A and B are shown apart, each in its own frame.
Chain A
């Protein structure tokens, strides 16, 4: 058994190690070391918790069993999961953080003595407030992440689910959560605690169902943030510095990522949260009814264009992930490089289903990270490049965002693909992208459409090079 002061110092140490873990991610070279700091921080926190309880009696063996059980499941998933499924994995993990926050809050509520929070039915007011906030946010994180997971996994349709009176209903539920916390704190009655949990689960579910598939980068970041706030709430209850620091770090991290994602789509946070984007696109469809001519080609034409280029910029998008084309793409690029063609990759902030999704997929395919550029870094280079190879991206290349104030995506930062001498656009059909609008790029003089599966087309081009 170690003193409360000593354990508080150790918790502070692990909090600092977690800060260093995030700090390490400022560059790929330091990131691996950062991850080790994170692991060390976690080990310290767990050991100190055991030492501060000092009760190595009967329950201890079960604690170990559950750590090992959960740990082996987690390790198994971590090794098996394909990189394309990373968004689902992260959403699933968020739900677990949320649920364990709820479970810890329940334990603390039914057995406050174990946590030094007073006695059942007479919990310290401050602790009760913190605990109920932690539990409510945890429950929202859980059910919201489950919906996000189901949508990403394709078990649930990615299209927004909206119904009449949705926003008033959500508003009423959110207000009722505040009222319930007030009632719980003034009466200490356990009924209010259970109702609070139920209502919080419900609102998490209702908040995410109206949000469409391509807004998932925002949703995942937002739930990331929530899981942090839930942890912080529990940290206040348990008076644990490591949890408070971590909760604040994760909370602000998720919030920043949501902000970056919203900016990448030129949409306000509220606009995304209120949902329904892409559901009411009738207006834009009617104006683009007329058939416009497109030029389409085959792998041979594409190979010819690229062979005669001196620089090529690749624009990957979610379609590349779906088609699992990243390895085929890398092989194509290797062939191009052998012919002394300069190749770089341009990544839009919201390409894919989560922040940084494309970067991970390219890294998996052994693409060196110094060939991969963000939108601001590379956008001026399109004018000097010979060929842009758009694979699985659509809306993020649409020049309409710059020219047509009527368009729903007007003002969104886009990659200036049309400035290239020629554009190769790999796509399965002419169907519009997620935003439900036609891409002007399809009809440009210098665009050659390659209608095929992204992976197959890339392989065919490589053969023809």
Chain B
């Protein structure tokens, strides 16, 4: 008997939810805004699907319905990736400890 690969993906999915649950509870409340912006950035890993779609054209026609939607999705996801990581970096750079000297 072979196990359907879907079951493996489902296992990864369920376990990741648990990992997410414990990791996110340990995030300090003062960093909740950077948490939102960084989750925004990483969920744009959906760009991998967009790239596959964008390269789905063939030599005769680069542009077909599928690849055009792919290109658009690449653009949107790229805004999010660059914007999300950079704005997170910018925020995190502001969190400083109290200076010892008075």
Contact = CB atoms under 8 A, between A and B. Distances in A.
Q: Is the interface of A mostly helix, strand, loop or mixed?
A: helix
B48 A25 contact: no
Given A53-B51, A114-B66, A355-B36, A370 B83 contact: no
Which among A15, A83, A103 has the greatest number of chain B C-beta atoms within 10 A? A103
Given A96-B77, A111-B66, A363-B94, A38 B38 contact: yes
Interface in B74-96: 74-96
Contact of A66 (B26, B52, B78): B78
Interface string B21-48: 1011111111111111111111111111
Contacts of B80: 70, 74, 93, 96-97, 100
A168 interface: no
Which among A49, A71, A96 has the greatest number of chain B C-beta atoms within 10 A? A96
| Interface size band for A | 35 or more
Contacts of B55: 53, 55, 57, 59-60, 63, 114
A106 B20 CA distance: 29
Nearest to A64: B74
Contact of A250 (B12, B43, B92): B43
B20 A248 contact: yes
List the 6 closest pairs (A to B, CB-CB), nearest first. A70-B78, A356-B32, A74-B83, A111-B66, A114-B56, A74-B82
A70 B81 CA distance: 9
Interface in A246-263: 246-254, 256-257, 260
A360 B91 contact: yes
A43 to B, nearest CB: 10
A224 B39 contact: yes
Contacts of B3: none
Contact of B85 (A35, A50, A237): A35
A71 B69 contact: no
B97 A369 contact: yes
B20 A100 contact: no
| Interface size band for B | 35 or more
A45 interface: yes
13 contacts: A41-B45, A42-B45, A49-B51, A106-B69, A107-B50, A236-B13, A249-B16, A250-B43, A257-B36, A356-B29, A356-B36, A357-B33, A366-B94
Interface in B41-73: 41-57, 59, 62, 64-67, 69-73
A169 to B, nearest CB: 30
B92 A239 contact: no
A198 interface: no
B9 A374 contact: no
Contacts of A114: 52-53, 55-56, 66
A114 B20 CA distance: 31
Nearest to A355: B32
Interface string A67-95: 11111111101110101001001100110
B44 A245 contact: no
Interface of A: 11, 14-15, 18-19, 21-23, 25-28, 31-32, 34-35, 38-39, 41-42, 45-46, 48-50, 53, 55, 57-60, 62-63, 66-75, 77-79, 81, 83, 86, 89-90, 93-94, 96-97, 99-101, 103-104, 106-108, 110-111, 113-115, 126, 220-221, 224, 227-228, 231-232, 234-254, 256-257, 260, 347, 349, 354-357, 359-360, 363-364, 366, 368-372, 374
A339 B56 CA distance: 68
Given A74-B81, A369-B95, A359 B20 contact: no
A368 B43 CA distance: 30
A155 to B, nearest CB: 20
A238 B54 contact: no
Nearest to B86: A78
Given A71-B82, A74-B84, A106-B69, A227 B48 contact: no
Given A78-B90, A260-B32, 19 more contacts: A22-B38, A31-B31, A38-B41, A38-B85, A42-B81, A58-B62, A66-B74, A74-B79, A86-B91, A97-B40, A100-B80, A103-B69, A103-B73, A103-B76, A114-B53, A114-B56, A221-B36, A235-B9, A248-B17
